[in-house]
Amino acid sequence: MKNIAVIGAGTMGNGIAHTFAQSGFSVNLIDINEAALKKGMDTIAKNLDRMVTKEKITETDKNNTLANITTHTAIPDGVKNTDLIVEAATENLDLKLKIFKQLSDVCEPNCILATNTSSISITQIAAVTQKPENVIGMHFMNPVPIMTLVEIIRGYNTSDAVTKTIMDLSAKLGKTPVEVNDYPGFVANRILMPMLNESIETLYNGVAGVNEIDTVMKLGMAHPMGPLQLADFIGLDVCLSILNVMYNGFKNPKYAPCPLLVNMVNAGKLGVKSGEGFYDYSENRKAEKVSKQFL
């Protein structure tokens, strides 16, 4: 396995491309948006520069990594002669189904199709392809070049051979793969998202403020980042999407998203990506910034 395609040049996509390219794989980074591709490549270059500065890699390593990545704006061109395709598009079921149906029509017969989804059913995605046994979940953690965990999610029809191949491949990337079964939210988000949602409920109910909630969890529970800050970092729209997947999948009210989260997403307050969420990232990263209109 030498040739990899990554679909989506956003935060996760460019991080996945970076990781494969740094490990010596030939990577086609695909996005229909030229500006997104340029931004993704700029991010990879900046992250590599940071690693050079910290003496984690050499300048030659950086140049070799960048040379291993080719950009494309069309799926058919980008997936030619690839052994593995990792989809890292927006966490939207309809979009993923459309992409995987297209991939099934144009990719090589033995190509493995992986999705970086953090919550959506692998079995449902695989069902629109011609070879569901070749479809698997590879849920990388953000930031991808740094975080070592990869959740490997088997769909109902995923073959043992494909699972072993992806487990072994993840180890070659310097990651720690953990195999889990295909249920909404898998393991990471099934545990994490209710905690984040409960933190938002705690704010919504007026128990404490943003800084106070995050401080309690950082100092009392030894979390490196408070839950509200983490929600901002993940993206409040992403958190809402994952909670909705779990709520719809389990029909259990404990997964129902907090009204405050829904209101903030509807207002475009998505966290770091929009410049404002529970904190204001445009002016002062320490300043609490939740408008009373949401509460």
Active-site positions?
118, 139, 151, 189
Confirm or deny that 77 is annotated as ligand binding. Answer: no
Q: Residue 264, annotated ligand binder? A: no
CB atoms within 10 A of CB 31: 26
Torsion, Cα 157 160 163 169, to 10 degrees, reads: -150
3-state secondary structure of 27: strand
Peptide linkage before 145 cis (omega within 30 of 0): no
DSSP labels for 63-106?
HHHHHTEEEESSHHHHTTT-SEEEE---S-HHHHHHHHHHHHHH
Was 10 annotated as part of a binding site? yes
| HEC secondary structure over 217-284 | HHHHHCCCCCHHHHHHHHCHHHHHHHHHHHHHHHCCHHHCCCHHHHHHHHCCCCEHHHCECCEECCCE
142 is in an annotated binding site: yes
> Do the annotations mark residue 96 as ligand-binding?
yes
31 is in an annotated binding site: yes
The H or E element spanning position 194 is: helix 188-204
8 is in an annotated binding site: yes
- CA–CA–CA angle 27, 31, 36 (5° rounding): 105
Question: Does 80 carry a binding-site annotation?
Answer: no
How many Å apart are CA 10 and CA 254, to the nearest integer? 30
Tell whether residue 158 is among the known ligand binding residues.
Answer: no
Backbone φ and ψ of 6, nearest 5°: -120, 125
Is 91 marked as a binding-site residue?
yes
Does 235 carry a binding-site annotation?
no
Q: Is 11 annotated as a binding residue?
A: yes
Residue ranges of the binding site: 8-13, 31, 91, 96, 118, 142, 273
Residues at the binding site for NAD(+) are 8-13, 31, 91, 96, 118, 142, 273
